Structure 1
Amino acid sequence: MTAAEFLDALPHLAFQMVLVLCRMGACGMVMPGLGEQEVPVQIRLALALAVSLLLLPVLAPQLPPEPREAAALLRLLALEIATGLWIGWLARLVVYAVQVAGQVIGLTIGLSSLLTQDPAMGEGGTALGRFLGLGAVALLLASGLYELPLRALAESYTLLPVGGPFGAGAAAETVAEASAGSFALALRLAAPMLLMALLLQMASGLLARIAPQTQVYILAAPALSLAGLGLLALLLPTLFDVWREAARALFALLPGLR
């Protein structure tokens, strides 16, 4: 390609790059691991740009020509951004499961309060939920699971071609199913702590009936926290192993992989 031909093709290449970057950048803003709040925005944008540059030669034959009308161009860009956010949010729900489990565990064993505010999770966030969330992200990056959402994003161009219809109803249904699966996984992860807390509460109630003069709450609260921390320390490796396998199975259901 000569310099003159390259200059003539440059506007079309720039349009194709913007199309790919819209989907990649929107997904990268919310994707687990790469889209964490601890990662600076500049790094997230740089990663999205690098992935877009790598995929552009492969995706270029599938991309449509630039529309002549501004309304059609804006619609095309909006659909690409919505598609990227949709795929990224489906992947993000998998990490939210372990964060919600950490919040439930923290509230159950008395390590936090509903009035505690977490800058990442908002009101009701707990330190234990944040700890488990960061642990899940570290495991996600260390185990290579982040490759599955990235592959789903790259292969989504076959399932959802650029310029094609975006089924908002089907997308909303998929998000609802993924949210239900995320909460079910969170309940599974927190189930041992919930069972332990229930047994201790039953024992405390029985003790209060047997010895009414005993200050049961004063004794039960620290016992519940200590027992909860001990059980959590014992089950933490198993908890992350269960989450990793569940995350692998849920990531395999992302659009483009199934």
Structure 2
Amino acid sequence: MAAADAALLAALPGLAFHAALILCRMGAAVMLLPGIGEAEIPPMLRMALAVGLVFALLPALSPSLPELPPEVSGLLALVAGEVLTGAWIGLLARILTLALALAGQVVSLMVGLASPLQGDLVLGSSATALARMLSLATAALMLATGLYEVPLRALADSYGVLPPGGAWPGGAVAEAVARKASDSLMLAMQLAAPFLLAAIFFNAALGLIARLASHAQVFVLAAPAQILGGLTLLLLLLPNMLDLWARGMASGFRLLPGAD
């Protein structure tokens, strides 16, 4: 019994270092992951989740993690690499989920609600109320549909793809961020495509009416119709938009580093 206690005490410093190493990656990712890393969630709750992930992953990951480096420079490089890896994975997932809020910005412009009515903690003070609503819907859908589990699973499995202490793939990191930004923008434009077409036809019709009745204040009278028609179209298309967004997230998350 005394020998087992002595072995446990001897292993505690190594386990503490491994726990701190895992926390670097998990903490950086949890602060950015969609659904659980929203700005509306207090940082203490997000950090508590990161600590819980550390306790869950420590028994499985500890045997494969490196030992404490003898030099401070090696320790700093190891910690910096883990923080950057976690932030990279969290950022990739965050960029992809911004598609719904970006679509809300485009829709607001098309229906005449482009003025900064309500700020957004993510998109900034220039976000519209509609974009803010869809941004909150993003967090709610991530939690309600269980999509948040896919980035977390990819984060846990990323140790097999990006082991601690390995070379930092700078080119691959930049390429992955650019690709995710492109995918997010493409999905946002797909979500807002019906409103773009409706705005084109609506403004073309207004121009024709203004040409035929030059003395009528067509655009002043058409502004309420544009807003009412745009919101009605949004009400009709919102279920399909959310379904398309969810399918886009499911397919995009499967391409995260470490995902199956």
User: TM-score, with normalisation over the residues of structure 1?
Assistant: 0.97
Alignment of 1:26-65 (within 5 A): 26-65=28-67
Amino acid at match of 2:247: E
- Aligned with 1:6 (options 1, 5, 8): 8
| 1:236 corresponding residue in structure 2 | 238
Cα deviation digits, residues 120-144 of structure 1 (max 9, x gap): 3114211111111111221111111
SS in 2 for 1:122: coil
Distance 2:112 2:121 in 1: 20
- Counterpart in the other structure of 1:118: 120
- Once residues 131 and 33 of structure 2 are traced to their aligned partners in structure 1, the CA distance between those partners, rounded to angstroms, is 18
Cα 1:38–1:123, aligned 2, differ >3 Å: closer, same or farther?
closer
**5+ residue gaps, structure 1:** none
Give me the whole-angstrom Cα distance separating, in 2, the residues matched to 1:112 and 1:65: 54
Amino acid aligned to 2:203: Q
> What is the aligned partner in structure 1 of residue 170 from structure 2?
168
Structure 1 residue 2 displacement after superposition: 3.2
- 2:229 pairs, out of 210, 227, 231, with 227
Question: In structure 2, do the counterparts of structure 1 residues 109 and 43 end up closer, same or farther at CA, with 3 Å as the change threshold?
Answer: same
**AA matched with 2:83:** I
Rounded to whole Å, the distance in 2 between the matches of 1:199 and 1:219 is: 17
Note the 1:98-177 alignment, pairs <5 A: 98-113=100-115, 117-177=119-179
Against the structure 1 CA distance between its residues 3 and 68, is the aligned structure 2 distance closer, same or farther, given a 3 Å change threshold?
A: same
Answer whether contact 2:151 2:256 (CA < 8 A) is retained. yes
* Unmatched tracts of structure 2, length 5 or more: none
Give the fraction of aligned pairs with identical amino acids, expressed as a percent: 51
Partner residue in 2 for 1:257: 259
For each residue in 1:172-199, what CA deviation from the matched residue of structure 2 results, as whole angstroms up to 9, or x when unmatched? 0110011000000000001111111111
Report the Cα offset of residue 116 of structure 1.
6.1
**In structure 2, C-alpha distance between the alignment counterparts of 1:114 and 1:206, rounded to whole Å:** 30
User: For the Cα contact (< 8 Å) 2:116–2:129, is it kept in 1?
Assistant: no
**C-alpha displacement of 1:6:** 2.4
Count of equivalent residues: 258
CA distance in 2 between counterparts of 1:220 and 1:250 reads 40
Aligned residue number for residue 16 of structure 1: 18
Q: 2-side partners of 1:232 and 1:169: how far apart?
A: 40
Q: Which amino acid aligns with 1:234?
A: L
Q: Give the distance between the partners of 1:9 and 1:246, measured in 2 at CA.
A: 45
Q: Is the 8 A contact 1:152 1:254 kept in 2?
A: yes
> 1:7 and 1:60 mapped to 2: Cα distance?
16
1:2 aligned counterpart, secondary structure: helix
CA-to-aligned-CA distance 1:183-231 (integer Å, 9 cap, x gap)? 0000000111111111110010000000000101111211110000000
* Structure 1: distance between partners of 2:198 and 2:26: 44
- C-alpha contact (below 8 Å) 1:62/1:162 kept by paired residues: no
